[in-house]
Amino acid sequence: MKTFTKSLAAALCASSVLFSGPALADHHAEQEAAAAAEVEAAADAAANVEAAGDAVEAAVGGETQTGTPAMWKVADEDTTIYLFGTVHALPKEVNWLNSSISDALGSSDSIVTEILMDDSVEAKMVQLVGAKGILPADTTLRSLLDEEQKATYEAALGKLGMPAAAFDRFEPWYAGMVLTMLPLMQQGYSPDAGVEKILIDQAGEKDRAALETIEFQIGLFDGLPQESQIAFLVETADNVDEIKSQLDAMVAEWLEGDADDLAKLMNEGMTDKTLAEQLLYARNRNWANWIDERLDTPGTVFIAVGAGHLAGEESVQDALEDLGIVTQRVQ
């Protein structure tokens, strides 16, 4: 379970592309006649299942959530850069946008997210998954698994109401992403309630920029060794019943602004160093370098990235410290 917690954290908090799964699968179904029925069924299963109950209970009680998620800033004589950790999808009942966050965003000249969030995002994701997430014609996903792994994977699909062949045409990294996302979507989490979506709406006509491209983020998953991809997929499948409760616990710590406990929860039992380096640590160093360069230009910037990047060892703040840049906690 500890290894899975870290894999879940890396997937959920490290990449903005995660919650595009059903739309991409459905698009691929239209293009791949041989797999059309299975993939369409998988997409429909995600799209048509209603959230359980009238309201989604988060990890701490069942009432409407309010919170004070952690926020930091770096500054020099003429530049201020806010750092805010996000969760890419949330239950609609979670209320986190307080006056401190609104004031920081309101004072900023621009908002910077992991990828540029505009109307072209979904089409680009569809195209990239079609180019990078599809296995060769003579290979299926389940053919890459041993008998025990295959049994675990097929059991997880059955629990989600999907046929065993639903993602046979996809590489393990993509199937793992979708398996992470589907239980959350079925139980009330939504990208429409995600932090980036709310912040961008709040930002209005402010300038937008990005630390990475969609191509880069897809490449992170596609570039993982197949062994790591399969390990991520099987861990996700083996723990499919626990995905929501694990994320609920992370969201509870995030809402409380307890970065230390969030880091402890996210960093339990990390065994796959390749996954951590590729999805978290290397990117944190890259973003610290971006911030270092941005400090040379006057103005105020609001950066919103996955909360996993701002918690624990080798965080963005640690990388900034290595560059001699002081980070101040402001919420």
Query: Can you give the residue ranges of every domain in the chain?
Result: 2-47+66-329
pLDDT for the residue numbered 129? 87
* Cα–Cα dist 199/11, whole Å: 21
pTM for this entry = 0.83
Burial of 123 (0-12, 13-18, 19+ CB in 10 A): exposed
CA distance 74 to 7: 29
Angle between helices 172-186 and 243-256 (to 10 degrees): 70
pLDDT (tens digit, 9 = 90+) per residue, 250-291? 999 999 999 988 888 876 555 567 777 888 899 999 999 999
Minimal CA–CA distance to 17: which of 184, 129, 170? Answer: 129
Q: What is the pLDDT of residue 320?
A: 98
Q: Which of 143, 199, 202 is nearest to 168 (CA)?
A: 143
pLDDT at 35: 40
- Could you give the CA distance from residue 245 to residue 229 in angstroms, rounded to a whole number? 23
What is the C-alpha to C-alpha distance for residues 327 and 181, in angstroms, rounded to an integer?
33
Beta bridge partners of 208: 111
Whether the CB-CB separation of 325 and 292 falls below 8 Å is answered with yes
CA distance 39 to 164: 10
For residue 312, what pLDDT is reported?
87
Please report the pLDDT score of residue 9 as a whole number: 55
pLDDT reported for residue 121: 80
- Helix (H) / strand (E) element for 220: namely helix 214-222
* Predicted pLDDT of residue 191: 87
Residues 6+ apart with CB under 8 A from 234: 145, 149, 152, 153
List residues bridging with 134 in a β-sheet.
170
Six-digit token pair at 231?
A: 């390990």
Dihedral sign, Cα of residue 267, residue 268, residue 274, residue 279: negative
Q: Which residues of the chain have pLDDT under 70?
A: 1-66, 267-272
Containing 302, the helix (H) or strand (E) segment is strand 299-306
The Cα-based distances of 212 to 94, 222, 283 in angstroms read 27, 16, 9
The three-state secondary structure class of 286 is helix
